[in-house]
Chain A
Amino acid sequence: MKVDVDMSICLLHGQCVIAAPAVFSFDDAGGLVWLSDVDEGLRGDVEAAADACPEQAIVIG
């Protein structure tokens, strides 16, 4: 499963980091990093993150 974040609308609330910590995290500088190719087993978490994103910036491919 492909995962992408539209960084032109992401506001770094970190709701995806809360919803799917195995996929999304903050680096030391506070930037968002994520796995772009995610195991199907984590689909539930990724979908929960996409739903929880206040800006609806997460794209699941």
Chain B
Amino acid sequence: MTQADLTTPDAPYLDVADPTFSIRSAEVMAARDASWYARTPYGLAALRYDDVQKLLRHPKLRQGSYRWPAHSGVTGGIFAQWWESMLLSQEGDTHARLRRMANPAFSPKLITDLRPKFQALANRLIDQFAAKGECDFIADFTEPYATGVICDLLGLPFEKWRELADIAGEMGLALGVTFKQDLPIVEAATARLLAYAEELVAARRAEPSDDFIGTLVKANADKSQLSDQELLDMIVLAIFGGIDTTRNQIGLAMAMFIEHPEQWALLADQPDLAKAAVEEVMRVRPTVTWVTREATEDFTYNDLPIAAGTTVHLFSQAACSDPAVFANPDFDITADRKPHFGFGGGAHHCLGHFIARGDMTEALKLLAQRLRNPRFNGTVEWLPDSGNTGAISMPIAFDPS
């Protein structure tokens, strides 16, 4: 069966490869109302809540970006090697083993200890611009905050944040369309992060601890369960996967609240709503707007034959405004909602979600109390609306304090 036979011609077509394509467009909403799936240049896209939820954990689908380096024409090298061996690219027994080994380092208990540090970090950053009444919310808050959280997690001093953000940013060029040209930079950055991880591990081996790295080092005591290389790969994944996502998601939160000032005022009055606010932002404005899956064998879903090798994008964003599930989908941090898919789901559900939920909750709580009446103060620069989205710069103004 070829790719073309897979879909009936009357299913909507979405050109997700077009740089102007928006996953938030009326076109996508109309497609979702007409059909549970759309055809795309890559394969299929699931559009509705129930289907996204079922397909996230479908046994015939695997995580779909494991061949990204090869697809970009990059074979060999330490980035490709890391990408292909790390948790997200693994399935079945190997994935389960790595995840079991990593779980204790990401447990909710460990995160509880970090909350006061997250608060101190947020306050320290807000202190630098609160009196001015304006800032670039990305450069001055979300980027140092997201990276500072990872510093806290790794036990590094905050002063390291710029260096870490730069290396992670250079490694992140691997996800762009110019990956092949940027390969030398990506390789150098990957080598530096691995060396960083090695230093952190050496320090904990010399002086055992119960923190994040210390807990991973303990898991590495049985090398058949977590080898030395797998330990380093996991630390690099936490750095790589934790910074841009958090930076983008907090920026998206601010954009939502600027567009809904009454919700911001409500959050300032009722800080306990911060936890729910994080969930509501991730429902309507997730940074990870879709996740990618690939069929491991031929199967049929909703009467649609899907051939082995087919790419299936699960449109988390479109699914979470599905009128079949969200009768009133408007942004409302007090509404009782079904869960969103901003952290994915199934076997690959975000391992860092307790950390991300904890740090974003603390950040929003303090921001709402300290930055009153935030508004845009110039042009916001955005990444494309699909895939992993967010603002690159966001000048804002607020009442000085």
Contact = CB atoms under 8 A, between A and B. Distances in A.
Contacts of A13: 57, 345-347, 349
Interface in A17-41: 18-19, 21, 30
B339 A48 contact: no
A4 B108 CA distance: 19
Contacts, number: 43
Contacts of A18: 95-96, 99-100, 347
Which secondary structure dominates where chain B touches chain A?
A: helix
B103 interface: yes
A11 interface: yes
A59 B65 CA distance: 35
A12 interface: yes
B140 to A, nearest CB: 32
Query: Which of B53, B95, B108 counts the most A-chain CB atoms under 10 A from its CB?
Result: B108
A52 interface: yes
A49 B53 CA distance: 21
B282 to A, nearest CB: 13
B107 A15 contact: no
B353 interface: yes
Given A51-B108, A51-B109, A55-B339, A14 B347 contact: yes
Which secondary structure dominates where chain A touches chain B?
A: loop
B349 A51 contact: no
Contacts of A51: 103-104, 107-109
Interface string B157-173: 00000000000000000
A15 B315 CA distance: 22
Given A13-B349, A14-B57, A15-B349, A54 B343 contact: yes
Interface residues of B, number: 20
Contacts of A48: 100, 103-104
Contact of B346 (A14, A21, A52, A55): A14
Interface string B321-354: 0000000000000000001000101110110010
Interface in B44-68: 53, 57, 59
B103 A19 contact: yes
A15 B57 CA distance: 11
Interface string B89-113: 0000001100110011001110000
Contacts of B95: 18
B108 A11 contact: no
A55 B353 CA distance: 11
B339 A11 contact: yes
B345 A19 contact: no
A44 to B, nearest CB: 10
B353 A54 contact: yes
A18 B97 CA distance: 8
Contacts of B346: 13-14
B274 to A, nearest CB: 18
A59 B339 CA distance: 20
B107 A11 contact: no
A19 B108 contact: no
20 contacts: A11-B53, A11-B345, A13-B345, A13-B347, A15-B347, A18-B95, A18-B96, A18-B347, A21-B96, A30-B59, A48-B104, A51-B104, A52-B99, A52-B103, A52-B107, A54-B343, A54-B349, A54-B350, A54-B353, A55-B339
Q: Which 3 A-B pairs have the closest CB atoms?
A: A51-B107, A18-B96, A52-B103
Given A30-B59, A51-B104, 14 more contacts: A11-B339, A11-B345, A12-B57, A13-B57, A13-B347, A14-B346, A14-B347, A15-B347, A15-B349, A19-B100, A48-B100, A51-B107, A51-B108, A51-B109
